[in-house]
Amino acid sequence: MFITADTAKARQRINSAKEQQKKVGFVPTMGTLHAGHLSLVQAARKDCRFVVASIFVNPLQFGPGEDYKKYPRNFSRDESLLKKAGVDLIFYPRAKTMYAHKFSTYIEEAFSAGVLCAKSRPGHFRGVCTVVGKLFNIIQPDVAYFGQKDYQQAQIIKKMAKDLNFPVQIKVLPIVREPDGLASSSRNTYLKASQRKEALALFAALKLAELLIKSGEGNPRKIISRMRALIKLHRLYRNLRRGYFRNIKSN
């Protein structure tokens, strides 16, 4: 497995794989890898004879006050996971390489601006599109793999690739979850044991929404209010249980 932070060296390796008629698969990540990322690598491994993974915590997609600085980073662990998974090249650029002094060119998918997550994270998708566009130009993959966990991101990237004629096929793969239903995520490392349990309410609420839709409920407001009620109930139940056990201990 070859590791480089250098754009020209990465291109050189990839070009020589292409000269050998190898199909190039690409998995962009921000590192601190888990089973979700590895499922994308596995899919790439199946389809392609040369697999590239990138590890880059992209400053451009973090808003002011977000967790860019404290985002978990663990390169040596990632390296050994990717090696085991059969990756051929890790592209591990520095922020200075990706965004040179006076960098001023961005990619913005305008249709989704101001809706869904873009409402609460202005500039986030612009950061994502810009970095993914740059990575597509550097790696020039035949196929790129994204997770359904970031559904909006995957749709926006598909649109960007189509609108801007990137010659790459985008594959979107299912969410990988922990055994109890919580979606695997690098940010799960932020959660204390109690918060980890609380987070399960989100999965339960999504399952409830699925059930309601399947049983004919078509009104999104009603579905959202039932989901909110379930999350509240989940919290109430956990608080009651906590209080109950505290009482037992103090008695």
- Positions marked active-site: 37
Task: Choose between 157 and 223: whose C-beta lies nearer to ligand AMP.
Answer: 157
Contact present, 124 and 118 (Cβ < 8 Å): yes
> Environment class of residue 208 by beta-carbon count within 10 Å: exposed (0-12), middle (13-18) or buried (19+)?
middle
Least separation in angstroms between residue 224's CB and ligand AMP is 23
Q: Kindly report the length of the chain.
A: 251
Phi, psi values for residue 110, rounded to 5°: -80, -25
Least separation in angstroms between residue 246's CB and ligand AMP is 34
**Interaction site with ligand AMP (CB under 6 A):** 29-30, 36-37, 39-40, 146-147, 149-150, 173, 175-176, 183-186
Task: Choose between 36 and 223: whose C-beta lies nearer to ligand AMP.
Answer: 36
Measure the CA–CA gap between 124 and 150, rounded to whole angstroms. 12
Vertex 132, ends 31 and 80: CA angle to 5°? Answer: 25
Task: Choose between 112 and 185: whose C-beta lies nearer to ligand AMP.
Answer: 185
Least separation in angstroms between residue 28's CB and ligand AMP is 6
Least separation in angstroms between residue 35's CB and ligand AMP is 7
Return the number of other C-beta atoms located less than 10 Å from residue 152's C-beta. Answer: 15
HEC-encoded secondary structure of 67-119: CCCCCCCCHHHHHHHHHHHCCCEEECCCHHHHCCCCCCCCCCCCCCCCCCHHH
